[in-house]
């Protein structure tokens, strides 16, 4: 195998990726142990125990509160990141740059250009939204959030636009700089030989004949290490990727990914100066354990309380055989009150104390994970007040952490999707080239921001009503352009205007045609009748001439 890394240029970490992975994963053990601990009392399947094999028993807990906490917060984070029936991104024009790039145009032409570009950008947002809805991005994002909530770390891989993949932290290692930016990620993968290049796979079968001989194709696997490395300058980084097996680069695995990594190591609560982040559940570890242990004690207490034993006083007048044979509502002779007793567990007050303490911890978790919120609705039309309340609750409950997520994890997911969509459909408009370089800025919407275009539409309607009230219909028509109003309103609603809103020249042509029609309609009735009569006489004369010619006689008798 090739262990010489001097001639590999950028595609090298200075040593085999497997060796570096083995050394760095020891620094991951403490964080991974905490992640497994928190998963045990929330959702055990998020982080199976070490040595877990598919189909093994993962474990079980004594309550579902932890799972409800993780699921609820993950759902709301996804809901705010990808609002229903709203684009997850917004393209904003840098108007001063646009005007600078088009100094030769008049102010009116600049405004028309600005309006048309806003409409086109809104249409492009809708195009991206529809494509995203046809992928598994939302579903994968929920899984991503669950991993981050319980373990604090997870890797997002997006190679094919429709199939993003989330990797648990026990499958990769990451190295970061002091600013928290990833320098490289090493992902450990188990691949089938059939999925590798044929020449390389055939060589593996020959070199490891003892391991693979007699095995079915789906049983022939090797462990590889995929590297995603940051290269280039600090201000303009780019990312490269390759896969190694025992220090050798697997043929065909080299890839240059430009300015967005294919494997992004996300962390929920950043720990700058360290390689791994911390989890949200870890901050509420005490209450999670109170709920887990409290419900465990209550379950044991219920089992004890439900355990029913009868006793009969020895030598009493009541016979045990009569009690055993007696059916319900039958008579038995004897002193039942004094001779028969039932085993009792006199710990009601103790159980009440455990129940109250557990309930208090459960309420604290409900507030921390927004389980008490009822503003989330699955609807196409969600009011602005609901958005404001939900995003405000997220930031308040998470200590501002939601804003960090929006500009790191969520931003990468959206920007990577946009890059893949442009790669899939090269004919998508490139407005930077049309309007001038760097005049369009991509913003990631976070709940209430998603309604900004709708707010623009509401503001337009309010302005028009105010102008009509203050200036009258005619005055409002003089100061406000109906065409511009329609274009901006369409942009606020994300409606495509092609073939819907007429251009100025078309409107003028229509107005001229209507004007001419109106003039004709207002002509004197006598004039119209005279013209009609003249046309009728002309038609009669032509008919007589035609008949005379057919009979060989001229109309005047000649």
The residue whose two tokens read 């308040």 is 396
pLDDT digits (tens, 9 = 90+) for 426-458: 888 876 655 555 678 888 776 444 444 455 666
Structure tokens at 186: 């090493």
| 9 vs 186: CA distance, rounded Å | 18
The percentage of the chain sitting over the pLDDT mark of 90, rounded to a whole number, equals 40
| Band of residue 500 on the pLDDT scale cut at 50, 70, 90 | low
pLDDT digits (tens, 9 = 90+) for 114-146: 777 877 888 888 889 899 999 999 999 999 999
- Contact between 93 and 117 under an 8 Å Cβ cutoff? The reply is yes
H or E element that contains 191: strand 182-192
H or E element that contains 239: strand 237-245
- Amino acid 390: pLDDT: 60
**Beta-carbon count within 10 A of 63 CB:** 20
Strands 172-176 and 153-157, bridge-based pairing: unpaired
What's this model's pTM, rounded to 2 decimal places? 0.75
Q: Which residues contact 335 (CB under 8 A, 6 or more apart)?
A: 316, 317, 318
Q: Return the sign of the alpha-carbon dihedral for residues 68, 71, 74, 77.
A: negative
CA 432 to chain centre: 26
Three-state secondary structure call for residue 533: helix
pLDDT digits (tens, 9 = 90+) for 288-303: 999 999 999 999 998 8
pLDDT digits (tens, 9 = 90+) for 343-401: 888 888 898 999 999 999 999 998 888 876 544 454 445 555 555 566 666 666 666 77
- Amino acid 510: pLDDT: 63
- Which range has the worst mean pLDDT, 39-43, 147-151, 195-199, 492-496? 492-496
| 236 vs 238: CA distance, rounded Å | 7
Alpha-carbon separation of residue 59 from 37, 167, 184 (angstroms): 12, 21, 34
């Amino acid at each position: 195998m090739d262990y010489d890394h001097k001639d590999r240029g950028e595609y090298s970490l200075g040593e085999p990726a497997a060796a570096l992975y083995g050394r760095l994963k020891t620094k991951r053990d403490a964080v991974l142990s905490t992640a497994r601990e928190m998963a045990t009392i929330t959702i055990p399947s998020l982080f199976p125990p070490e040595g877990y094999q598919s189909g093994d028993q993962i474990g079980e807990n004594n309550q579902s509160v932890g799972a409800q906490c993780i699921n609820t917060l993950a759902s709301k984070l996804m809901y705010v990141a990808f609002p229903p029936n709203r684009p997850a991104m917004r393209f904003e024009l840098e108007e001063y740059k646009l005007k600078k790039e088009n100094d030769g145009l008049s102010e009116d032409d600049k405004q028309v250009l600005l309006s048309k570009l806003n409409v086109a950008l809104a249409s492009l947002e809708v195009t991206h939204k529809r494509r995203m809805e046809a992928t598994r991005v939302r579903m994968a994002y929920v899984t991503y959030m669950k991993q981050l909530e319980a373990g604090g770390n997870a890797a997002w891989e997006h190679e094919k636009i429709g199939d993003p993949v989330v990797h648990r932290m026990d499958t990769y290692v990451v190295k970061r700089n002091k600013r928290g930016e990833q320098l490289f990620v090493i992902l450990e993968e188990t691949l089938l030989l059939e999925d590798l290049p044929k020449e390389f796979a055939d060589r593996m079968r020959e070199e490891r004949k003892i391991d693979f001989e007699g095995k079915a194709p789906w049983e022939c696997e090797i462990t590889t290490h995929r590297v995603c490395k940051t290269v280039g300058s600090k201000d303009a980084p780019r990312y490269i990727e390759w896969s190694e097996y025992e220090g050798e680069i697997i043929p065909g695995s080299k890839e240059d990914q430009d300015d967005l990594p294919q494997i992004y190591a996300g962390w929920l609560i950043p720990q700058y100066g360290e390689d791994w982040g911390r989890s949200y559940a870890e901050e509420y570890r005490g209450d999670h354990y109170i709920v887990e242990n409290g419900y465990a004690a209550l379950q044991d207490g219920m089992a004890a309380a439900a355990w029913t034993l009868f006793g009969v006083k020895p030598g009493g007048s009541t016979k045990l055989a009569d009690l055993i044979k007696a059916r319900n509502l039958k008579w038995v002779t004897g002193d039942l009150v004094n001779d028969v007793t039932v085993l009792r567990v006199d710990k009601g007050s103790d159980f009440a104390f455990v129940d109250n303490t557990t309930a208090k911890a459960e309420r604290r978790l409900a507030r921390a994970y927004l389980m008490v919120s009822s503003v989330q609705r699955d609807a196409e039309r969600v009011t602005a007040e609901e958005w404001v309340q939900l995003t405000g609750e997220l930031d308040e409950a998470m200590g501002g952490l939601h804003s960090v997520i929006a500009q790191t994890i969520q931003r990468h997911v959206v920007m990577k999707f946009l890059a893949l969509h442009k790669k899939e459909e090269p004919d998508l408009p490139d407005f930077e080239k049309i309007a001038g370089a760097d005049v369009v800025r991509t913003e990631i919407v976070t709940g209430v921001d998603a309604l900004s275009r709708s707010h623009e539409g509401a503001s337009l309607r309010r302005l028009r009503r105010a102008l009509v009230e203050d200036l009258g219909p005619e005055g409002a028509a003089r100061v406000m352009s109906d065409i511009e109003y329609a274009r901006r309103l369409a942009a606020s609603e994300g409606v495509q205007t092609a073939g819907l809103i007429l251009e100025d020249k078309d409107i003028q042509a229509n107005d001229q045609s209507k004007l001419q029609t109106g003039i004709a309609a207002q002509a004197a009735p006598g004039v119209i009748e005279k013209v009609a009569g003249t046309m009728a006489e002309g038609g009669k004369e032509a008919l007589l001439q035609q008949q005379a010619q057919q009979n060989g006689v001229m109309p005047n008798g000649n």
